[in-house]
Structure 1
Amino acid sequence: MASQSPIPVVINGAAGKMGREVVKAVAQADDMMLLGAIDTNPEVAGRDIGEVAGCGPLEVPVLTDLQSTLVMATQEQQQGVMVDFTHPSGVYDNVRAAIAYGVRPVVGTTGLSPEQLQDLTEFAEKASTGCLVVPNFSIGVVLMQQAAIQASKYFDHVEIIELHHNQKADAPSGTAIKTAQMLGELGKTYNQPIVNEEEKLAGARGSTGSENIRIHSVRLPGLIAHQEIIFGAPGQIYTLRHDTTDRACYMPGVLLAIRKVTELKSLVYGLEKIL
């Protein structure tokens, strides 16, 4: 029996820090074919994305037009996948365009609003097109979140601190928001106040979601991506922490998502849903 055709992959934001890692990972995957590389940076337009990523020539030029590349992806024997690591301001339009062309999005860009996420969910379902929106592709982060769910059974007070490089455009991080949502879905009330707090400076206590969990964001050069979930109770503190030291740690999750999204017919949110 003939082996299945390689999965055609288009990488949007290919010249960015995460995009370059995805280029290298896809190029080395036996069951994938790098079909296109999109980036709006004029300094890399027309260059071989393999040279830009530092893995040698791949004979795939960097293009600036996403839609023409999506058209090319629809002409392949196997349905194409678009991996998006771009900017919060454009990710909604990118994902909607991919679904419209029948190309399955794997979305690592954070910043989608709940309303945009709901709209994309409905659009993907109507189109019977798989879509994966993943706030964090690290297996370690998924394990940290699962440990937090277990801890929440015994702790009623929790806050989240997320730390990222100072080129990250959105705050809080998608991972922190997702973590708070997961804890909130357990149906308990966190952080019941015992005093009337007064912020001397607005935002000093971080942001508060409907789960009543405080999220604090730090942006500094030298950081990559880090998160602490801090549980407190009388006489004890329980801290869960994940540190990213190299973006290569995300690549097993990205490759898994590319393979899994081809089996889906609707939008799925979170890496834990496909593990």
Structure 2
Amino acid sequence: MSLILKGFLLIGSLTADAFPLQSSRRPLVRPFHSLKSDEDGGFDPEFVHVMVNGLPGAMGQEVSAACLRKGMRIAPIAFTGPGLEGSIMVKPEPNCPDDQQVEVKLITGPPEGSGAGLEAINEFTAGLPVGHQLIIVDYTHPTAVNANVAFYAKNNLPFVLGTTGGDRELLMDTAQGKWAVIAPNMAKGIVALQAGVDMLAQSFPGAFSGYTLSVQESHQKSKADTSGTALAVSASLEKLVDTPFDTDEGITRFRGDDASKAFGVPESAMGGHAFHTYFLRSGDGTVEFQLQHNVCGRNVYAEGTADAVLFLSRRMAVDTNAPQVFSMIDVLKEGGI
């Protein structure tokens, strides 16, 4: 991951409500389960079973591997898209022994597969030892994310949501009062950067009055929606320029290989990358500030997602009667990643 800051000095402390998409909620409902603690007061990752919805996608496989490396277990079932049913072997490392691999059955997710999906989940959780926990990770598709969250909320299933897109306001309302971590970005460094930019915007609103904001972002061509990170950071930068920012007009997306290469993405990262550059330009064109963060691959997001799962399991054990929606800033502040 590379980061270039031109013109910005990020100082101060992180705020838990740094972005609308990262805001914490604190409603009350019954928790799904509580996690058993080990003798020294910590939590044994082996008690955490992770259902990775979005397999056999590349992000789902990366998250599965990261969870296995951190000692968690992968549930043998996962939601997938129509036509992708079957099974897949997930593993912590590419060349690991067979006994470290887990076979996962792929079933159609909500809304089409809600009945069969709930039956499979109930069958699996019924066989879990006392104190063990199922937590869902969702890296599915923008068109499926609202139906998925509605399913998780209705059935009191704790979840970590990395899928972007969908109706985010409806999504947050649906998740209210449930155990969840929801964030447009799961990478520690970028989360801290986002919080710093928001702190700057809150401390010095209008400091760049008269400037124009524009954004360029490139992802692998399989990403269907505009970058959630670009939307979140531009929302903070909008406060600095003190001018309404049209995300449709102001954010340029690169998805094809040729366009991404021209943007500076290396050939080796065509299958998975996230390059962002934000421009603040003065009205007369004599001054320009740039904020840039570039990521090749998916590992940094997968590791952060796995840490978010562990964070959620710990909070469920400590605050058993206080389910809420957390952000990755909450995870970062607690030292969970």
Name the TM-score, length of structure 2 as normaliser: 0.64
Identity %: 22
Closer, same or farther: CA 60–115 of 1 in aligned 2, 3 Å: same
Q: Which runs of 5+ in 1 are unaligned?
A: 193-204, 209-213
Aligned: 1:61 with 2:101: no
Aligned: 1:266 with 2:324: yes
Aligned: 1:14 with 2:52: no
**How far is 1:230 from its partner?**
1.5
What whole-Å deviation, never above 9, does each CA across 1:220-270 have from its counterpart, x for those lacking one? 2326211112222363222111111121111231122101223161223x4
Q: Would you say the 8 A contact 1:106–1:258 is kept in 2? A: yes
Residue in structure 2 matching 1:33, options 70, 73, 78: 73
Task: Give the distance between the partners of 2:248 and 2:215, measured in 1 at CA.
Answer: 10
What whole-Å deviation, never above 9, does each CA across 1:65-113 have from its counterpart, x for those lacking one? 5433432454333331100111111112222222333321111111121
1:6-155 equivalences under 5 Å are 6-30=47-71, 32-38=72-78, 39-40=80-81, 45-50=86-91, 55=96, 57=98, 58-65=101-108, 66-72=117-123, 74-75=125-126, 76=128, 77-122=131-176, 125=177, 129-149=178-198, 152=201, 153=204, 154-155=207-208
1:87-236 equivalences under 5 Å are 87-122=141-176, 125=177, 129-149=178-198, 152=201, 153=204, 154-156=207-209, 157=211, 158-170=213-225, 172-184=226-238, 186=239, 189-190=242-243, 207=248, 214-221=250-257, 222=270, 224-233=273-282, 235-236=286-287
Task: Give the distance between the partners of 1:23 and 1:48, measured in 2 at CA.
Answer: 10
**How far is 1:176 from its partner?**
1.5
Closer, same or farther: CA 37–53 of 1 in aligned 2, 3 Å: farther
Higher relative contact order (CA 8 A, sep 6+): 2
Residue in structure 1 matching 2:302, options 238, 248, 251: 251
Structure 2 residue matching 1:80: 3-state secondary structure: strand
Q: Which runs of 5+ in 2 are unaligned?
A: 1-37, 109-116, 258-269, 317-322, 333-337
Counterpart of 1:169 in structure 2: which amino acid? A
Task: Give the distance between the partners of 1:149 and 1:78, measured in 2 at CA.
Answer: 38
Closer, same or farther: CA 180–229 of 1 in aligned 2, 3 Å: same
Counterpart of 2:86 in structure 1: which amino acid? A
Counterpart of 1:34 in structure 2: which amino acid? I
Structural RMSD (CA): 3.0
Equivalent residue pairs, number? 249
Structure 2 residue matching 1:175: 3-state secondary structure: helix
Name the TM-score, length of structure 1 as normaliser: 0.77
Task: Give the distance between the partners of 2:240 and 2:287, measured in 1 at CA.
Answer: 23
